[in-house]
Amino acid sequence: MTFKLDENFESRTQHLFQAYGHDVQTVRMQGLQGSSDAHLFEVCRVEQRCLVTMDLDFADVLRSEEMRG
């Protein structure tokens, strides 16, 4: 699977995902720290990556629907 780890995760988490054979990019690796949720959502959509985050804004289903357009 392909994942993007949000900026609230340390490199330990990245290494854990990689140890299990997953393709992992991080927000920090791509210089996306501080990006809006909508921009981060779009980057993940284009890259076809599952976002792993502790940002509770993404837990709001109605707001997530708005980001999809």
| Rg of the chain over all Cα atoms, to the nearest angstrom | 12
Q: How far is CA 17 from the centre of its chain?
A: 13
Residues written for the chain: 69
**Element housing 45 (H / E):** helix 37-47
What is the average per-residue pLDDT within 24-43?
92
Strand partners, 4: 25, 51
Structure tokens at 6: 């949000």
pLDDT of 12 strictly over 60: yes
End-to-end CA distance of the chain: 25
Predicted confidence at residue 30, as pLDDT, reads 92
Predicted TM-score (pTM) of this structure? 0.79
Structure tokens at 5: 């780890």
Name the percent of the chain lying above pLDDT 90: 68
**53-64 residue pLDDT tens:** 998 877 666 655
